[in-house]
Structure 1
Amino acid sequence: MKQFFTYTLTLALALALVSPEASAQQFSKRKQYNSVGVSLNAMNYFGDIVPKASIPSLRFAATRPNIGVNLTHRFTPRISARVALAYGRITGDDSKAADKNDADARFRYHRNMNFRNDLVEASAVGVFDLIANRNNYIKRPDFVPYVFAGVAVFHHNPKGLVGPNTSNLEQGTYVNLQPLQTEGISYSLTQVSIPFGGGVRYKLNRSFDIGLEIGWRKTFTDYLDDVSQVYIEDSKLTSPAAKYFGRGITRTDDGTFINFNSPGEMRGKGNEKDWYIVTGVNLNYILAPRVKSPKFR
């Protein structure tokens, strides 16, 4: 996944730099235009609470919706800039993702962690069309594949669902995990990510395009799921909720739940940052540019 990210981002930047249309001066102002769009997407995540201990592993049943709006400006026959605002959710649950009969997954099954996380993302990306449009928006190509890369800022807030336990917590409620410092670490709920990916765009008519797009988000945090490092001592967990989520409750074969983790034992992989992925359909409406009539004297 790291190599895929590097190659995709490098390709997108290289194409933009070497393209002969890289200067907006070569593209008439009368041919530049804006478009606004909406997107309906599916959202997944790669992290610690997944079927396999690797970034490409995800649980499709954990897919959740994502919606967004965007504004795009075309600068040259191939290059556009897009800003977007999106909201979506990611989830994970060891009891559903990990197979207790799989030796590699048994640890995650007994860890018995779960989370959901609502993300609000603002992004700015450069879009490089693989088929150029040297005309105005009316004569744009019918079918255009493209790649994109940029930067995003997102706000998140992981929460855990309280299950059967012996504490005073109310079962079936969601608890904010970041304030609990379940691993003795305070992390920010506002983070930066690197969005990149590709898609295809199809011309419906004079004013509308419809497209299919997939985009990965490389983050710089390992706490989208509130799991990263090791279990810490009970004395450092300051509330019943912190002890419930920070120590972990495991299920036995007879269905009872017990604590089994010791301080210093592995809780998460710790050596990989979390990712999330957005896949979906977008509909864009082209804002017809104003054409100024020549003045005669």
Structure 2
Amino acid sequence: MKKLLTLTLTLVLALVLVANQASAQQFSKRKQYNSVGVSLNAMNYFGDIVPKPSITSLRFAATRPNIGLSFTHRFAPRISARGSLSYGRITGDDAKAADDTDPDAKYRYNRNMNFRNDIVELSAVGIFDLIENRNNYLKRPDFVPYVFGGVSVFHHNPKGQDASGNFVALQPLGTEGQRVNGDGTYGLWQISIPFGGGVRYKLNKSFDLGFEIGWRKTFTDYLDDVSGNFAPDAQLLTDQAKYFGRGITRSTQGEFARFNEPGQMRGKSNEDDWYIVTGFSLNYILAPRVKSPKFR
């Protein structure tokens, strides 16, 4: 997956650079324009609390809303740059995601973890249109597919629901013994690589309707607060840390004991978490001001 991601981003960047060099000189500043947009999206995640221990596995019932604002500048017939600010939520629950009849998922069913995580993201991406527009915004194509890639910074804060129904911030607890074993705990500010594709449809001279799907490759395995192994009780400093760190036992006959012993796998620590944003946007084109020539 990492090699595929690197190859995809390299190819997109190469296409952008080639197209930009070939067309930038033919696209005057009078044809460049800006747009502002709002988006309403669906948000999902890939991680440890999903139906299958696979990056392609997600639980559609765990979909949560995401909203965003964006500003886009068109530089060339195929090239635009976009800055976006968005807010959304991801969530997961072993009790609803893991199948207790699946031998590969049974330990996660008994683990019985849950979380929700509110994510605020600020991103900057380059957009490459598959259909070019060498004219001004008024003569732009009616239908344009595109691909994009870039970088983002985001803030997250995973929380778990306790027996009383209250949501508790998990990062300060050190649920895998991070507060004691010297590794420290994970940061709530992280970087990701957003990439994906979409289509735009021209509604009229001023508005475009868009549909887009975008993946976020993160560099943390703690969007769900689950990554490594179960920690000994001595490394869990509070009752809340023990409650969430040792697992909320599902079995009434001691079956769970063999799943949550110290050192046993709590999560797949060799894979970072991902999240995905899918939805619609409405973009308003800010008509460029055309300066009239001066005559003397």
Contact map agreement 1:112 1:249 (CA 8 A) in 2 = yes
My pick for the range that moved more, 260-269 or 58-67, is 260-269
Structure 2 residue 244 is matched with structure 1 residue 251 = no
Q: CA deviation at 1:127?
A: 0.2
- 2 CA distance for matches of 1:9 and 1:141? 26
Q: What count of residue pairs does the alignment treat as equivalent?
A: 289
Q: CA deviation at 1:18?
A: 1.6
Contact map agreement 2:110 2:256 (CA 8 A) in 1 = no
Contact map agreement 1:216 1:275 (CA 8 A) in 2 = yes
Percentage identity across paired residues of the two chains: 75
- Moved segments of 4+, more than 3 Å: 1-4, 20-26, 256-260
Question: After the TM superposition, which residues 18-167 of structure 1 pair with which residues of structure 2 at under 5 Å, given as runs?
Answer: 18-19=18-19, 21=21, 24-163=24-163
Question: After the TM superposition, which residues 201-212 of structure 1 pair with which residues of structure 2 at under 5 Å, given as runs?
Answer: 201-212=200-211
- 1 CA distance for matches of 2:167 and 2:93? 13
Contact map agreement 1:33 1:137 (CA 8 A) in 2 = yes
Structure 1: which amino acid aligns with 2:165? G
* TM-score normalised per structure 1: 0.94
Structure 2: which amino acid aligns with 1:204? L
Secondary structure of the residue that 1:19 maps to in structure 2? helix
Q: Could you say which residue in structure 1 is the equivalent of 2:226? A: 227
Secondary structure of the residue that 2:241 maps to in structure 1? helix
Q: Could you say which residue in structure 1 is the equivalent of 2:193? A: 194
Deviations 1:69-103 (A, max 9, x none): 00000000000000000000000000000010111
Q: Could you say which residue in structure 1 is the equivalent of 2:182? A: none
- 1 CA distance for matches of 2:264 and 2:23? 55
- 1 CA distance for matches of 2:55 and 2:277? 15
Structure 1: which amino acid aligns with 2:86? A
- 1 CA distance for matches of 2:255 and 2:8? 45
- 1 CA distance for matches of 2:161 and 2:255? 15
Q: CA deviation at 1:257?
A: 10
Q: Could you say which residue in structure 1 is the equivalent of 2:280? A: 281
My pick for the range that moved more, 5-14 or 286-295, is 5-14
Deviations 1:211-254 (A, max 9, x none): 11000000000000000000111111111110000111221267
Unpaired runs of 5+ residues, structure 2, are 179-184
Across the aligned residues of Structure 1 and Structure 2, the Cα RMSD in angstroms comes to: 1.6
Contact map agreement 1:249 1:257 (CA 8 A) in 2 = no
Structure 2: which amino acid aligns with 1:103? P
Secondary structure of the residue that 2:237 maps to in structure 1? coil
Secondary structure of the residue that 1:250 maps to in structure 2? coil
Contact map agreement 2:23 2:77 (CA 8 A) in 1 = no
* TM-score normalised per structure 2: 0.94
Q: CA deviation at 1:259?
A: 5.8
Structure 2: which amino acid aligns with 1:176? A
- 2 CA distance for matches of 1:66 and 1:226? 21
